[in-house]
């Protein structure tokens, strides 16, 4: 083969057009590339105004790649329906005994429902247009329906930012992660659960400490009963009750048990010390014995401990 002929063929090969995908990428209208976290922050800072405007920017770009898209129209109808419903639904609930909703208020509720359906319809229509158009570039766009339902504006913006990066660099990895959005949803849910669960757990833990103190008092109650039966009188101190000094019954959490005289009865009193949880330190707990119908009745009382931390039957 002639050398000049070979050189000519190599020159023809170098002048061949670039692969279709690389050439077409430049003709894609630049997607709005604002990161979804900025969309979220700007929506918060503008008290939701940015969240109303940005979907129209997204729909406008989709209209450029798919002239048949009706997402913008659906968004305008949705916004108009929401605004109209404000004038139809009364700002205050109806007075008791009147009709729950007037015909105009019912119309307003229907407008709100229709507006919500139009809003979600617009986003699913935009997702379909993007998937359909990007198939021309042999770029699979995976938009999860459930994630789109819950995070519509933010999730679609993440897809558009991903497309903008692909257009500029040709890289389609990493793909849009759905996990970040579910973490974003999970954070306030976790905060709410923590706000409810932590106080409940703390109250439960403190009730356990109070219950332990009452359990330590059980054998002392029996000794006091034996003393009452033997002396036919209410004991006024530890000695009369047949008990040791109060400090002898001290534990890591309790400073000990004292027997005190009360009107028509006796009381076995303790207090929580430094080893107890902070919410119980210095708080007193008493087991009060009184006579009722010829029988001795024990009651649990506390002047300091909140009722939420006391077992059932304590005051």
Q: What is the DSSP string of the chain?
A: --HHHHHHHHHHHHTSPPPHHHHHHTTSPPPP---HHHHHHHHHHTTTHHHHHHHHHHHHHHHHH-TT--HHHHHHHHHHHHHHHHHHS-SSPPPTTS-S--HHHHHHHHHHHHHHHHHHHHHHHHHHHHHHHHGGGT------HHHHHHHHHHHHHHHHHHHHHHHHH----SPPPSHHHHHHHHHHHHHHHHHHHHHHHHHHHHHHHHHHHHHHHHHHHHHHHHHHHHHSS---STTTTT---GGGG--SSEEEEEEEEETTEEEEEEEE-TTS-TTTTT-EEEEEEEEETTEEEEEEE-SSS-GGGSPTTB-
Tens of pLDDT along 91-141? 555 555 455 567 888 888 899 999 999 999 999 999 999 999 999 998 989
Question: Using CA atoms, how far apart are residues 37 and 53, in angstroms rounded to an integer?
Answer: 16
Assess contact for 280 and 252: CB atoms under 8 A: no
Q: Residue 22 pLDDT more than 50?
A: no
pLDDT for 92: 54
Lowest mean pLDDT among 49-63, 118-132, 188-202: 188-202
Beta bridge partners of residue 157, listed in sequence order: none
pTM over 0.85: no
Question: Using CA atoms, how far apart are residues 267 and 289, in angstroms rounded to an integer?
Answer: 6
Q: How confident is the model at residue 58 (pLDDT cuts 50, 70, 90)?
A: very high
Residue 108 backbone zone (phi > 0: left; psi -120 to 50: alpha; other: beta): alpha
Q: How far is CA 219 from CA 110, 223, 268, 313, in A?
A: 69, 7, 12, 19
Assess contact for 154 and 36: CB atoms under 8 A: yes
Q: Residue 55 pLDDT more than 50?
A: yes
Q: Average pLDDT for residues 136-158, to the nearest whole number?
A: 92
Tens of pLDDT along 249-277? 988 899 999 998 888 889 999 999 988 99
Q: Residue 48 pLDDT more than 90?
A: yes
Is the C-alpha dihedral spanning 251, 255, 260, 264 positive or negative? Answer: negative
Question: Using CA atoms, how far apart are residues 73 and 42, in angstroms rounded to an integer?
Answer: 24
Question: Using CA atoms, how far apart are residues 194 and 188, in angstroms rounded to an integer?
Answer: 10
Beta bridge partners of residue 299, listed in sequence order: 288
Q: Average pLDDT for residues 158-165, to the nearest whole number?
A: 95
């Amino acid at each position: 083969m002639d050398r000049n002929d070979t050189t000519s063929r190599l020159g023809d090969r170098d002048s061949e057009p670039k692969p279709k995908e690389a050439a077409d990428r430049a003709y894609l209208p630049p997607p709005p590339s604002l990161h979804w976290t900025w969309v979220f922050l700007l929506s918060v800072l503008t008290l939701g105004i940015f969240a109303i405007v940005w979907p129209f920017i997204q729909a406008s770009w989709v209209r450029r790649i798919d002239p048949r898209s009706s997402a913008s129209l659906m968004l305008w109808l949705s916004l108009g329906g929401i605004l109209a419903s404000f004038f139809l639904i009364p700002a205050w609930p109806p007075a008791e005994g009147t009709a729950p909703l007037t015909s105009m208020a019912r119309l307003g509720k229907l407008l709100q429902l229709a507006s919500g359906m139009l809003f979600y319809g617009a986003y699913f229509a935009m997702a379909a247009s993007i998937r359909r158009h990007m198939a021309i570039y042999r770029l699979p766009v995976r938009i999860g329906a459930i994630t789109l339902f819950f995070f519509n504006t933010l999730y679609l913006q993440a897809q558009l930012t991903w497309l903008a990066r692909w257009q500029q660099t040709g890289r389609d990895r990493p793909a849009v992660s759905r996990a970040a959005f579910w973490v974003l949803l999970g954070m306030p849910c976790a905060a709410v659960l923590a706000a409810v669960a932590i106080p409940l757990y703390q109250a439960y833990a403190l009730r356990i400490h109070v219950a332990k103190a009452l359990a330590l008092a059980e054998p002392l109650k029996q000794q006091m009963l034996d003393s009452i039966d033997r002396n036919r009188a209410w004991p006024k101190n530890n000695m009369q009750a047949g008990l040791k000094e109060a400090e002898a019954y001290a534990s890591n959490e309790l400073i000990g048990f004292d027997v005190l005289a009360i009107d028509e009865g006796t009381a076995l009193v303790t207090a929580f010390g430094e080893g107890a949880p902070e919410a119980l330190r210095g708080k007193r707990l008493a087991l009060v014995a009184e006579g009722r119908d010829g029988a001795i009745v024990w009651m649990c009382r506390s002047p300091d401990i909140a009722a939420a931390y006391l077992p059932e039957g304590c005051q």
